[in-house]
Amino acid sequence: MDGSLQRIEGVMIGRLVALEDGRPLVLGRLVEPAGPEVLRDGERVRVTAAERIELRVGKASIIMEKDGRITIRGSYVTSHASATNRVRGGSVHLN
């Protein structure tokens, strides 16, 4: 078999491939980049990562670490609750 040709194995069946002008000429297999897993079921979205998840926009950020630390930063941070709004922890530092 020529070095530019490759046999399609059973594990490749059902995978996404690139086509040329809609013709069944497979140019290559599309490989999903390693990264966070995102699951959507219509009602919720779950993002899972091994080390860290960061949400950033402008000067605001939410960072979650695998060791359980969560950091929320912003110019103004507001917390609203229609019921009890609790701040709990081993120790709580205000200002």
- For residue 24, being part of any structural domain is answered with no
- For residue 66, being part of any structural domain is answered with yes
Question: What total of structural domains would you count in the chain?
Answer: 1
Sorted by sequence, the CB contacts under 8 Å of residue 53 that are 6+ apart come out as 36, 47, 63, 64
Confidence at residue 94, expressed as pLDDT on a 0 to 100 scale = 86
- For residue 93, being part of any structural domain is answered with no
- For residue 28, being part of any structural domain is answered with no
66-75 — which CB contacts under 8 Å span 24+ positions? none
- For residue 23, being part of any structural domain is answered with no
- For residue 85, being part of any structural domain is answered with no
Per-residue pLDDT band for 30 (boundaries 50, 70, 90) equals: low
User: Does the pLDDT of residue 25 top 60, yes or no?
Assistant: yes
Task: Write the pLDDT tens digit of every residue in 53-81.
Answer: 999 999 999 999 999 999 999 999 999 99
CA 25 to chain centre: 32
Indicate yes or no: pTM above 0.75: no
Domain that holds residue 63: 50-76
Q: What is the mean pLDDT of the chain?
A: 81
- For residue 89, being part of any structural domain is answered with no
Confidence at residue 1, expressed as pLDDT on a 0 to 100 scale = 46
- For residue 30, being part of any structural domain is answered with no
User: Does the pLDDT of residue 3 top 60, yes or no?
Assistant: no
